[in-house]
Structure 1
Amino acid sequence: MADFDPRGELFAERQESTRKDVERAFGVLQSRFTIVKNPAVLWDKEKIGKIMRTCVILHNMIVENKRHGYAQIDTSEFESGESSRSSKVKMRESIHVGDMLGIRREVRDTEKHDRLKADLMENIWQKFGSEDE
């Protein structure tokens, strides 16, 4: 029988809670904005970040307008449905297979994953571990 690991259990609880929140948030954005549904593998990180921030801001504006019972602007062009050419993002001009393979290898590096997970577990334990005791 495995030993009880309070740090691992706290990490798992926090990770599950956060994952549910993130999945719910992305689900809302994907249902509202077609661009969030599309694969972003070939876009650069800066563009992805700007797109996501823009979608979050637009979503919050839509929610705020609906909460007050009015809509000052027509948001239908930003919502899911048929996408217009203006909503498409240009992909990188040139993509090198070697770059993609290197990025994929780095993302799948199990040693790096284990180090990052251990660091995150320790950070969560330092921040929240004494609350439950």
Structure 2
Amino acid sequence: MSSSSSDEVEERLDEIIDDIIDETYINIVEAQPSKSRTGAYIERDREIGHNQLWNDYFSEDATFPSYLFRRHFRMNKELFLCIVHRLSEHVPFFQQRRDATGRFGLSPLQKCTAAIRLLSYGSAAGVVDEYLRVGESTAISCLKHFNEGIIRLFGDEYLRRPTQEDLQRLLHIGEIRGFSGMVGSIDCMH
């Protein structure tokens, strides 16, 4: 393959990946109906949401075992906790603060869980409200800050562009499976 041909393939691959990521993000965020603010405050008992999440997945005698954690979060618990820790250290949005009344706000665990649940299930932002006690607009904000934080903190290491060898390997695998010219599937299901 000539250098210009591989540059064209790499450029096209970059465009396709960027388009898929942009479209997925837009579908999640813009699918939320725009509502006019009524100004009514809903007490969600966010502390209960944090305690429930902790007891279900992170305590020593957690309700759900690790294989269910992996199924529910699409990653193992150690990776999840590493992500939460790094985000809460380096991204101010994920640092737990007190509100005007002196109560603690949402925990980093709740915010990251909201974002990951939206991403892993592709669900509407309002879905996380009942379990995590995170409002719809806050869930959208969690998703936005989560994506930006992951790119900033982990991008150089894990979100690198594929090398020519990576590209050839993926094209070869695709061809074996009957998808010639296809580099991969964004949802990893095929």
Query: Is TM more than 0.5 here?
Result: no
Question: What interval of TM-score do these two structures reach, taking the shorter chain for normalisation?
Answer: 0.3 to 0.5
TM-score w.r.t. length of structure 1 = 0.40
